[in-house]
C-alpha cells in the first residue's frame, strides 16, 4: 500500500529505524553508568561517616542501599550479604526491567544524591534556563552565522578577508577560555556585567519587570560566550559550502542567463544550507544536555551541571533521566530533519522516484 506513497513510506521507514536506535540508546544509557566499580552510596557515605563507628556506618550504608533498591533484600527486610560480607547488589537485569517498566509509565524515579527529590522535578526546574540560554544562541547563531558565511563567500574582497579570520578565531577559541575571558574583562575588571548567577541574588524567579530585567542583564555574558562561537563555526562552514556552490555549473549557467544576483544567491543558499540544516538539528537535539561550560563559568542555572554532578556521584536515576531526555530530543530533531530534507531536497525526492 505504501508503494503508492513514496513520502509516507520514507517516513515510516525512518521511524522504524529511529525506534531501534532509541531502544539501543536507552539500553546504553542504562548500562554504561552502572558498569564501573563505583557506587553512589560510597559518595554519600563519605560525607556522613565522620565520627561513626563501624556498626552505625554499616547500618547507615544498608539503609541507603535499601532505599535506592541497589541490593537484594531477604524476606525479613535484611540486606543479603555474600561470603565476604559485602552486600549483594541487585542484578543489572532486574534493575533494567524495573527501569523500563518505570520509564514506560513516565516515572523517572527519584534522584539518589538529592533523595527524595523526583528526577522530573529536577529536570523541570533546570530545563527552562537551559532552553533560554541554548535555543536563542543556537537559532540566532545559526541564522547569523550562515548569513555572514554566504555573504562572505559571495562578496569576497575586504569583507571576506575581515570576516573569515574573525570567524576562524571565534570558532577556534575553546568555550571555557572565551567564557573566562568574558568574566574577567566584563565581569571583574570593568564590572559592566555580573560575573556569576542567573539573576540578582535579591530576587526570586517570578513574572515581574524587575526579575525579567535582572535576568536579561545577567543573560548577556553567558549568551555571548556561546553565541559568538556558534556564529563563527557556522560562518566558516557556510562560507566553504557556498564557495563550492559558486563553482558549480548551475550557478555559472544562471549567471550567463543573466538572472538576478539576489535570486542566484537564494538558489545557492538553499543548496548550501542542506548540510547546515542537519547540523542545526543535531545542535537543537543535544542542547537539552545543557551548556555545561557556560553554566560552570557563570554559575548559570541549567541542566548541564545537574548532569555533571549526577555522573560524578553515580546518581543513576538522574543520569538515566537526563540522557533519556537528550536521546529523545536528538532523535526527534534528526527525525524532523530527515523528513524535512526529504521534502526540501529535490535530489532525495528524485532518487526515491527513480528507485521505485
Partner 1 sequence: MLLSLMACRPNPLERDDKTSGFPRAETFYLGGRQWGEPSTFNPLGPSVWPISTMNLLYETLLLYNSLDGTMQPLLAESYAVHDDSIEVTLNPAARWNDGKPVSAWDVTFTFGLGQKYKSLNIAPIWQYLLSVRAYDQDGHEAPRPTSDDAYPRRVVFALNPAKKNPLVVLDALQAQLILPRHALEPLFAERGNDLDEFKKLKFEHDTVSSGPYRLFSSSSEKVAVVRDDGYWGNQALHGGKKPAPKYIVHPLYKSNDAFSVALRQGRLDISTTFVPRIWLKADKGVRSWFDRQPYFLSSSIPMLLVNHKRVPLMDVHLRRAMAFAIDYKDIRELSVSGYSEPLRPGIILPFGLERRFFSEEDAQKYGTWFDPERAKAELRAGGYEPAFGPNGELLETRDRDGKKLPTLYIKSPTGWTDWESIVRVVVRSLRAAGIDVRERFVDTSLFWNALYEADFDLIMHTPSTQPSPSKPWSRFEALLTTRDFAPPGQRMYKNIGRFNDPHAPGYLPRIDELLALIPTLTDDDALVSAYHELNALFMQEQPDLPLVYRPDTFYEFSIKHWSNLPSSKNPYLPPLIPGDRLGTNMLWSITPVTAASN
Which 234-253 positions form the footprint of partner 1 (CB under 8 A)?
A: none
Residue 69 binding partner 1, by CB under 8 A: no
Residue 42 binding partner 1, by CB under 8 A: yes
Nearer to partner 1, 53 or 260 (CB): 53
Q: Give min distance, CB of 69 to partner 1, in A.
A: 12
Residue 195 binding partner 1, by CB under 8 A: yes
Residue 50 binding partner 1, by CB under 8 A: yes
Spatial neighbors of 292 by CB under 8 A, at least 6 apart, are: 304, 305, 307, 308
Which of 116, 157, 247, 258 touches partner 1 (CB under 8 A)?
116
With CB under 8 A as the contact rule, which of the stretches 88-96, 153-161, 197-205, 271-279 interacts with partner 1? 197-205
Residue 257 binding partner 1, by CB under 8 A: no
Q: CA-to-CA distance for 292 and 159, rounded, in angstroms?
A: 34
With CB under 8 A as the contact rule, which of the stretches 159-167, 281-289, 306-314, 321-329 interacts with partner 1? 306-314
Q: What's the maximum distance between 2 C-alpha atoms anywhere in the chain?
A: 89
Whether omega before 116 lies within 30 degrees of 0, making that bond cis, reads yes
How many Å from the N-terminal Cα to the C-terminal Cα in the chain? 13
Output Rg (C-alpha) for the chain, integer angstroms: 26
Q: In 10 A of CB 70, how many CB atoms?
A: 19
Contacts of partner 1 in 117-136 (CB under 8 A): 117, 122, 125-126
Nearer to partner 1, 154 or 199 (CB): 199
Nearer to partner 1, 314 or 323 (CB): 314
Nearer to partner 1, 271 or 320 (CB): 320
Which residue do the cell numbers 547540523 mark?
279
Helix (H, G, I), strand (E, B) or coil at 110: strand
CB 182 within 8 A of CB 189: no
Residue 113 binding partner 1, by CB under 8 A: yes
Residue 166 binding partner 1, by CB under 8 A: no
Q: In 10 A of CB 21, how many CB atoms?
A: 15
CB 165 within 8 A of CB 158: no
Amino acid at each position: 500500500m505504501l508503494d503508492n506513497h513514496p513520502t509516507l513510506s520514507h517516513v515510516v521507514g525512518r521511524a522504524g529505524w529511529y525506534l531501534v536506535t532509541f531502544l539501543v540508546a536507552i539500553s546504553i544509557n542504562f548500562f554504561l553508568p552502572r558498569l564501573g566499580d563505583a557506587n553512589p552510596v560510597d559518595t554519600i557515605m563519605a560525607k556522613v561517616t565522620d565520627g561513626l563507628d563501624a556498626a552505625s556506618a554499616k547500618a547507615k550504608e544498608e539503609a541507603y542501599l535499601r532505599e535506592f533498591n541497589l541490593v537484594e533484600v531477604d524476606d525479613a527486610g535484611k540486606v543479603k550479604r555474600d561470603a565476604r560480607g559485602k552486600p549483594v547488589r541487585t542484578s543489572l537485569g532486574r534493575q533494567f526491567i524495573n527501569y523500563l517498566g518505570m520509564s514506560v509509565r513516565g516515572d523517572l524515579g527519584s534522584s539518589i544524591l538529592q533523595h527524595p527529590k523526583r528526577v522530573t522535578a529536577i529536570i523541570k526546574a533546570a530545563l527552562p534556563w537551559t532552553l533560554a540560554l541554548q535555543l536563542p544562541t543556537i537559532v540566532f547563531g545559526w541564522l547569523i552565522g550562515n548569513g555572514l558565511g554566504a555573504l562572505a563567500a559571495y562578496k569576497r574582497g575586504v569583507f571576506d578577508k575581515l570576516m573569515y579570520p574573525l570567524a576562524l578565531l571565534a570558532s577556534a577559541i575553546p568555550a571555557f577560555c572565551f567564557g573566562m575571558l568574558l568574566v574577567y574583562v566584563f565581569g571583574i575588571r570593568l564590572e559592566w556585567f555580573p560575573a556569576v548567577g542567573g539573576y540578582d541574588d535579591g530576587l526570586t524567579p517570578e513574572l515581574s519587570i524587575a526579575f525579567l530585567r535582572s535576568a536579561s542583564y545577567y543573560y548577556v555574558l553567558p549568551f555571548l560566550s556561546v553565541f559568538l562561537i556558534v556564529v563563527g563555526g557556522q560562518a566558516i562552514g557556510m562560507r566553504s559550502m557556498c564557495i563550492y556552490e559558486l563553482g558549480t555549473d548551475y550557478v555559472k549557467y544562471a549567471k550567463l542567463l543573466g538572472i538576478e544576483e539576489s535570486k542566484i544567491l537564494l538558489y545557492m543558499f538553499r543548496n548550501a544550507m542542506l548540510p547546515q540544516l542537519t547540523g542545526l538539528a543535531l545542535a537543537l537535539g543535544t542542547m537539552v544536555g545543557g551548556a555545561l561550560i557556560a553554566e560552570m563559568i557563570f554559575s548559570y542555572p541549567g541542566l548541564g551541571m545537574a548532569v555533571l554532578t549526577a555522573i560524578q556521584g553515580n546518581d543513576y536515576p538522574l543520569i538515566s533521566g537526563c540522557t533519556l531526555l537528550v536521546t529523545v530530543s536528538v532523535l526527534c530533531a534528526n527525525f524532523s530533519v530527515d523528513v524535512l530534507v526529504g521534502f526540501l531536497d529535490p535530489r532525495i525526492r528524485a532518487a526515491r522516484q527513480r528507485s521505485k
